[in-house]
Chain A
């Protein structure tokens, strides 16, 4: 008896389910995207006195030490702007917890939260290239454009799926990798290189690029990897061949670079040169010694913005977050332009971002803030090379 009741119940349940779906979607060829996103793309939003910019950043989680720098720089822009303008800006910060055990789920939810808020007209961030891959659909579906201050994976702009939506204020890996490799080959004239990546996508991308350029030029290249959680490099250091002249470590967390450098010195191999990437551009890494090099997006060392920030933060430049300042600046300027008539749409803001033209004098990254067709900086063709003087990084001729 119970079995029969159960069977009837199953049939009822299935029928109810299908009825619900059928009622909601009568015709089967609704393959096109649902109507709602198109609406939010061109929905008219009144600008008002306080305008909202979305901000996706890894404020907590394993990448918090670099995320918090981005937060500081973004807040610096907003506070200086609000002091000198009649209209005010507000940041809606969504914590993406990059590298956290839950993966990109937080980024997805954060992106959805931004899209659902009709007052958000543009977004700064996300920081990680994987996060961007994950949230592209959500942000595009909501018509929201975004300006990233740190994601450097080349394919994000070149694969064509984000044109018109994604912009970034840092040059891509396709420029940083060869800059580093060429400096090693031509200026330092070294032929024996060891590359260690930190298993994250930012690092492996750079490492792969540098490795291929070096191998093509005939240099001897060894390769290995560590995890971002790792602090004990002693076995790895022992394994590095004695004739290696320079170790390239495109890592993301400066404390790890510092630990590696110190452990190299502790193992008696402090004469081997080290070179990092923009992730390690920090005085803690520079403090390892004067045999340390680094690449970083060209910051204008004389910029008043940078000196103002450093004064507020006790002399610490937190350089990793500087391009985020530029990203928020781009987004804010575009919103202001699009809001000239009092109300605007997300599509108009995107167009304004694409047409950004902030001169180099007003931009802290040393080049004008102008984008090319695919969303990369139009005039940033070089990365700066820096060498440590014992306490900080100073630019050297690239």
Chain B
């Protein structure tokens, strides 16, 4: 048993999985409240990656000695998270709110339109060339190892910050008043508004949080993998959605678990299966189909009784 290969794959799987989990959380939260598949979520993630890049270069680039690496990182994260949060709220108010009472397919199509719009606006403004995060100069890519387990600083950073964000979110949803409002709105929107909860505000907050998480994921992607471009949101969004569905859509712990499952599955498939890298997306989707067929509501989802 090649342990070193196994550990390598596990580390990269966990890194990827953390990213997918963050994206999946946004999908799950929005779906739980609005029953809407937010196609534009993957592109919000892409915008987050670009915002982080602009923050980095706004501060003089990765080799500017005036700013400590850690400070630069914090600024990048905050810029991306705030920017994406605002973007998410704007999208909701502009593209989804007017369609709250329209047939279900209308906001779906609107989401598709927003997705196309964002992708091509990024292409227009940022150009077709790939932007580089230049992580080497920024925080160095020292490789640490514990026995046979190798990992690098960006990977560690990604996993740790993802876990911190997820813990923060869970605490927020479970303990705070706004979190309780979110949970009740997800359960029954009409009843919640009758109980005096400002449903519009709750929905805006949901979008803000979900998009902020996606923005953070975008910055992390740039740090670990070094390169961002305008089309990166499509596949990442798709896999994030897969993770949300596998974990049980509408359930937050499910989204986190789903993300890790998808990341690890992708990594192991690449590493162990023949021509794994070529077909890695296929293996992930096949896993999705399998989970849906066996357990239609996902791993941690509740079986939903169809009400008329």
**Partner-B contacts on A (CB < 8 A):** 60-62, 64-65, 68, 196, 199, 223-227, 229, 231-239, 253, 255-256, 258-259, 262-263, 265-268
Pick out which of these stretches binds chain A: B8-16, B64-72, B180-188, B191-199: B8-16
Give chain B nearest CB distance to A27 CB in angstroms. 48
Do B276 and A231 touch (CB < 8 A)? no
The interface bits of chain B over 271-308 (1 if a CB of A lies within 8 angstroms of the residue's CB, else 0) are: 11001111011000000000000000000000000000
Do B231 and A235 touch (CB < 8 A)? no
Alpha-carbon gap, A267 to B224, bound state (A): 11
Contact of A255 among B227, B270, B271 (CB under 8 A): B227
Alpha-carbon gap, A258 to B17, bound state (A): 24
Alpha-carbon gap, A256 to B226, bound state (A): 10
Instruction: With A267-B150, A268-B143 as known contacts, state yes or no: A60 contacts B123, CB within 8 Å.
Output: yes
A residues in contact with B155, CB < 8 Å: 234
Do A235 and B12 touch (CB < 8 A)? yes
CB pairs A–B below 8 angstroms (21 shown):
A62-B128, A62-B231, A223-B275, A225-B275, A225-B278, A229-B232, A232-B221, A235-B9, A236-B270, A236-B271, A238-B271, A239-B271, A239-B272, A255-B229, A258-B227, A259-B130, A263-B226, A265-B141, A266-B143, A267-B143, A267-B152
Do B152 and A266 touch (CB < 8 A)? yes
Q: For chain B, what secondary structure do more than half of its interface residues adopt (helix, strand, loop), or is it mixed? A: helix
B residues in contact with A235, CB < 8 Å: 9, 12-13, 16, 266-268, 270-271, 276-277, 280
Alpha-carbon gap, A225 to B266, bound state (A): 14
B9 to chain A: closest residue by CB: A238
A residues in contact with B224, CB < 8 Å: 232, 234
Alpha-carbon gap, A199 to B282, bound state (A): 14
Give chain B nearest CB distance to A70 CB in angstroms. 13
A262 to chain B: closest residue by CB: B226
Do B278 and A231 touch (CB < 8 A)? no
Instruction: With A196-B277, A239-B271, A263-B226 as known contacts, state yes or no: A255 contacts B132, CB within 8 Å.
Output: yes
Do B278 and A199 touch (CB < 8 A)? yes
Alpha-carbon gap, A241 to B132, bound state (A): 28
Do A225 and B132 touch (CB < 8 A)? no
Alpha-carbon gap, A234 to B19, bound state (A): 14
Instruction: With A62-B231, A225-B275, A259-B227 as known contacts, state yes or no: A232 contacts B132, CB within 8 Å.
Output: no
Do A255 and B266 touch (CB < 8 A)? no
Among A239, A253, A263, the most chain B Cβ lie within 10 Å of the Cβ of A239
Do A232 and B143 touch (CB < 8 A)? no
B residues in contact with A199, CB < 8 Å: 278
The interface bits of chain B over 91-135 (1 if a CB of A lies within 8 angstroms of the residue's CB, else 0) are: 000000000000000000000000000000001000011101001
Alpha-carbon gap, A195 to B188, bound state (A): 55
Q: Does B172 contact A (CB under 8 A)?
A: no
Alpha-carbon gap, A266 to B88, bound state (A): 33
Give chain B nearest CB distance to A234 CB in angstroms. 4
The interface bits of chain B over 241-254 (1 if a CB of A lies within 8 angstroms of the residue's CB, else 0) are: 00000000000000
